[in-house]
Structure 1
Amino acid sequence: MSTDGIYEFDLIFALPSPADIDSILDRLYDAGCDDAVIGVGAPDMIGLGFTRYGPDAETVISRTLNQILIALPEGCRLREVKPDLVSLAEVAARLGVTRQALQKREMPAPSLGGLYRATEIRPHLSQATGKIAEALATADPWFAAAAGAQRVNARISLGDIPACRHAHQTGTNAVVPQKNPVPARQAACPPFSASPTEIRRRKGSEAG
């Protein structure tokens, strides 16, 4: 019996300028990221949202990152993994409630810029009732990814995450990890995404 959990997370990358978005989407599809939800609403940035199974959040995020690094253009850098530091507005959007509803509840002390650690918010909501309690089950994969996102963000700060190097073009024997996709998420798309593109839908329309 599998003990894998479900984790919902976003990987935010800085792109070299100018970036060929169509080519990037093709390479991501070829690398097996057909389950990604893509946000390209900010200049020279791309957000990839995933919902995946795995033994723990950090392992799932790291495997996914390894998969992406061989697909993005040389010089791309991972800037942030979400959820980690989040606003009450982000949490409210995940739960489908108003920010005011959360402000009425006891919350952990905020961190930088008035943001909160997602790892600290979930325990404070565990005793909630009503709509918040009902929404927590849907949002649990997002909260479950927070600890892994926090650890990977620490690695970014320490410079432990390499830039993309086009392993697929240089002959490196990179291994694309096996993913375990779950049904597409119903929650919000990656940050700064005004019009997300699901790669598999895009490819399907091209085939038709």
Structure 2
Amino acid sequence: MTARSRRAERFTGRIGAFGTGSGTRVVLGLWERSPFGAFADAMIEDARGHRTLLAPRAEVADFVAATYSFDEVRIVPLRVWRIRGGLAVGDGMHDAGGGAAPAFRARLLAGRLTPLGRVLRAVPSRLATSPAWLTAVDPVARILVPGVRTAGTAGGGRREYYGVTAVRSIVWAEAHLDGRDLGAFGPLAPPVRFGFGSAPASPALVDLTTTVTR
């Protein structure tokens, strides 16, 4: 057993989730601090239920694929750009002249803190991200935000905890996959099926720390 496998894995950053007119749902992970350094990934489920992971490096893909369920895993050099009022994620924001279109790109504009987001902001961060606290509040979270869980299994005998510290609405988003526009911005419906819980149906950008333990 390696040193990494014995300790808690903590990922701090943001998750943005939204739906599209094609029926494809997109969940973006924008991680500022993690055992793998800063990185971005994308989990995509299309209208047929096909689940794809886009990860920037093999070590990230291996960890995420061992934690969640996918039908396809692709290595794509995703980056994050800040744009006015929001964020852009992808392996290219513009097509190179005469070149191939980027494998993936998405842009989103964030709104204000939601009422729930303001409540969560008032909870001390150390408590809000504690596995013990997140286990205790999981039954309440399921009622307040259907489909959402704060604690559950991460596979391989591990547990995962989502400690959300802020929630902002997403007021607009767009995404392209392999040069194809995924369609108009919409709610995350039906729920995605990557792990033990989904993201809220209302598109949201959340600040959080995710902890994976054995």
Please identify which structure carries the higher helix content: 1
Q: Which has the higher contact order (CA 8 A, sep 6+)?
A: 1
TM-score normalised to the size of structure 2? 0.27
TM-score normalised to the size of structure 1? 0.27
Please identify which structure carries the higher strand content: 2
